[in-house]
Amino acid sequence: MGDVRNLGIRPVAVIIGMPGAGKTRVGKEAATMLDLPFADSDIEIEHQVGMRIPQYFEQHGEAAFRDVEHRVIDDLLGAFTGVLALGGGAPMFEATHAALERYIEQGGKVIYLEADPDEAMERARRAGGRPMLAGDSDERWRSLFVKRDPVFAALATDRVATHGFTPTGAARKLVDMINEHRVHVGGADPYDVVIGEGAMNHLGEVLGSKPVRVALIHTTTVQRHSDRARTLLRQAGYAVSDIVIPDAERGKTIEVANGIWQRLGDEGFTRSDAVVGLGGGAATDLAGFVAATWMRGIRYVNCPTSLLAMVDASTGGKTGINTPQGKNLVGSFYTPAGVLADLKTLGTLPNDIFVEGLGEVAKSGFIRDQAILSILEAHAAELKSFDGDSFASGDGGDLEDIVAQLIERTVSVKAYHVSADLKESGLREFLNYGHTLGHAIEKLEHFRWRHGNAVAVGMVYAAELAQLTGHIDRELVDYHRSLLSSLGLPISWNGGSFEDVLALMHRDKKARGNTLRFVVLDGIGHPVHLDDPPADAVEEAFRRIQRPDGK
């Protein structure tokens, strides 16, 4: 049912929770779905001590039990390769808590299974044999919850609420959580990018308890996903203002932004309220810009629904709108509270919209992570023939895991650059590989060309320019052409004159005065700045991208 890529971490997940939360039943079912072993620390303890836990408690006391429990759990954390459920009080013991923190530092997942209190107390009463609930079990449960809940919540890397779900439904939620990928984006305002099926379920958790009103900004083309987000937001207790904007670049205008500002003012949005941007890159760009400018900045979360938005626009804190003079010339750097890249949304993508996102994926491979290029090469045919229906139904074989890996690696490349350089003063400019010509193409095509396609041609142009200026050899230029075309991306363009392109490249954000400034490679994974290259090389490189063979 998934790849479970953290098999190097032992175990793949640790489940904690109150007595009666269903840790054993739900954890065992989740392990079965993942085709992994399951272990319950209480059962392992009973095997070691040769008696039931209530009996051991009675004979030796709680302190002796916690020592045994710590030794058993510590051993399991180092050797067990499956799903592990812990006894209710285990994380409260200092040594065990410290062992779990070390496990998390190594990349492990500690998942807090949150059950409805009445349901949990009922299950705990039925099960019996719980020394910590001796006496008035309900009263003892409530007392323990007051002490344990803050500790569990602070320790856990993830939380799964099971209220209203069958054990099978809760297990599916747990599986989605286990298979999630997280990329941490550092800097002054750090946040996480969550990648996986069901990632949108984290909306309430990321928004927090402070907002009362949430503006859900989306396009009509993602109606199914906006319906789901709206339901999740309302279930979390927020008042939702549904704001629909035009699709793609038509939604990134001052007129659209102004209409949203008027809505926020009319509906009483305050500095403590929030924005959720849901859709492709244009929608998340606009939502971020609105959030950055309303009352000088309010909380916002991005829920990208296209591959391009997941790997590029939603992460990094760039927000903006277009003007008649160019793309993204008005905007700000403003970081989201989180990014939730829900893989389920990719199932509604047409093939061409998915494929254009591969342009930005390949870019990240060229500038930093060669493993991305290897994955693209190995799976080019599958990626090029992407079918949303097959992807959504799970009939695409390993494609979901491949896509998740590509997104995680690409976002990690972006996180590396933006964590060190939020405002694009140096290192972050390398993310613009292929964008100098790419943005010019988009403008001259009146944004009828998709961004990822324009960047693909832009990368070929940058490679041709780098070869003409002696930075790379012909073989690497040809590799650009062969890889990108194998993915279904364009490698040539004939939609405008060199004079028009040159004028727009002089307006590029990397330009300095009258000096052209490009990002080129001097090898895979080694981007460099190229300032004011020879005019004949700039023009010759353009001539080469006018023909598919570059000749």
Task: Determine if residue 363 is labeled as part of a ligand binding site.
Answer: no
3-class DSSP string for 4-34: CCCCCCCCCEEEECCCCCCHHHHHHHHHHHH
Task: Determine if residue 22 is labeled as part of a ligand binding site.
Answer: yes
Task: Determine if residue 249 is labeled as part of a ligand binding site.
Answer: yes
Q: Residue 77 in contact with residue 99, Cβ under 8 Å?
A: yes
Task: Determine if residue 356 is labeled as part of a ligand binding site.
Answer: no
Task: Determine if residue 409 is labeled as part of a ligand binding site.
Answer: no
Task: Determine if residue 66 is labeled as part of a ligand binding site.
Answer: yes
- Strands (DSSP E) found in 270-411: 274-279, 299-304, 318-323, 326-333, 338-342
Q: Residue 208 in contact with residue 235, Cβ under 8 Å?
A: no
Helix, strand, or coil here: 106?
coil
Task: Determine if residue 515 is labeled as part of a ligand binding site.
Answer: no
Task: Determine if residue 360 is labeled as part of a ligand binding site.
Answer: yes
Q: Which of 365, 277, 287 is nearest to 319 (CA)?
A: 287
| Radius of gyration of the chain measured on its C-alpha atoms | 26
d(CA 386, CA 409) in angstroms, rounded, equals 19
Query: Cβ contacts of residue 247 below 8 Å, gap of 6+?
Result: 219, 220, 221, 279, 280, 282
Task: Determine if residue 10 is labeled as part of a ligand binding site.
Answer: no
Structure tokens at 26: 């739900």
Q: In which region does residue 276 sit, left (phi positive, over 0), alpha (psi from -120 to 50) or beta (all else)?
A: beta
Task: Determine if residue 247 is labeled as part of a ligand binding site.
Answer: yes
Task: Determine if residue 345 is labeled as part of a ligand binding site.
Answer: yes
Task: Determine if residue 257 is labeled as part of a ligand binding site.
Answer: no
Task: Determine if residue 248 is labeled as part of a ligand binding site.
Answer: yes
Task: Determine if residue 88 is labeled as part of a ligand binding site.
Answer: yes
Task: Determine if residue 469 is labeled as part of a ligand binding site.
Answer: no
Task: Determine if residue 118 is labeled as part of a ligand binding site.
Answer: no
Structure tokens at 67: 């020592």
Task: Determine if residue 395 is labeled as part of a ligand binding site.
Answer: no
Task: Determine if residue 28 is labeled as part of a ligand binding site.
Answer: no
Tally the C-alpha atoms within 13 A of residue 255's C-alpha that lie toward its C-beta: 7
Task: Determine if residue 78 is labeled as part of a ligand binding site.
Answer: no
Q: Is the alpha carbon torsion for 154, 157, 163, 166 positive or negative?
A: negative
Helix, strand, or coil here: 88?
coil
Task: Determine if residue 497 is labeled as part of a ligand binding site.
Answer: no
Q: Residue 283 in contact with residue 226, Cβ under 8 Å?
A: no
What are the C-alpha distances in Å from 211 to residues 208, 215, 232, 253, 499? 7, 10, 14, 26, 50
d(CA 250, CA 387) in angstroms, rounded, equals 26
Task: Determine if residue 284 is labeled as part of a ligand binding site.
Answer: yes
Q: Residue 510 in contact with residue 519, Cβ under 8 Å?
A: yes
Task: Determine if residue 305 is labeled as part of a ligand binding site.
Answer: yes
Q: In which region does residue 454 sit, left (phi positive, over 0), alpha (psi from -120 to 50) or beta (all else)?
A: alpha
* Widest CA span in the chain: 89
Task: Determine if residue 64 is labeled as part of a ligand binding site.
Answer: no
Q: Is the alpha carbon torsion for 125, 163, 6, 192 positive or negative?
A: negative
- Give the distance, in angstroms, between the CA of residue 505 and the centroid of all CA atoms in the same chain: 32
Give the amino acid at 237.
Answer: G
Backbone angles phi, psi at 204, to 5 degrees: -60, -40
Task: Determine if residue 109 is labeled as part of a ligand binding site.
Answer: no
Task: Determine if residue 364 is labeled as part of a ligand binding site.
Answer: no
Task: Determine if residue 549 is labeled as part of a ligand binding site.
Answer: no
Task: Determine if residue 318 is labeled as part of a ligand binding site.
Answer: yes
d(CA 33, CA 45) in angstroms, rounded, equals 25
Annotated binding site for Mg(2+): which residue ranges?
24
Annotated binding site: which residue ranges?
20-25, 42, 66, 88, 130, 148, 247-252, 281-285, 305-306, 318, 327, 345-348, 360, 435, 451
Annotated binding site for substrate: which residue ranges?
42, 66, 88, 148
Annotated binding site for ATP: which residue ranges?
20-25, 130
Annotated binding site for NAD(+): which residue ranges?
247-252, 281-285, 305-306, 318, 327, 345-348
Annotated binding site for Zn(2+): which residue ranges?
360, 435, 451
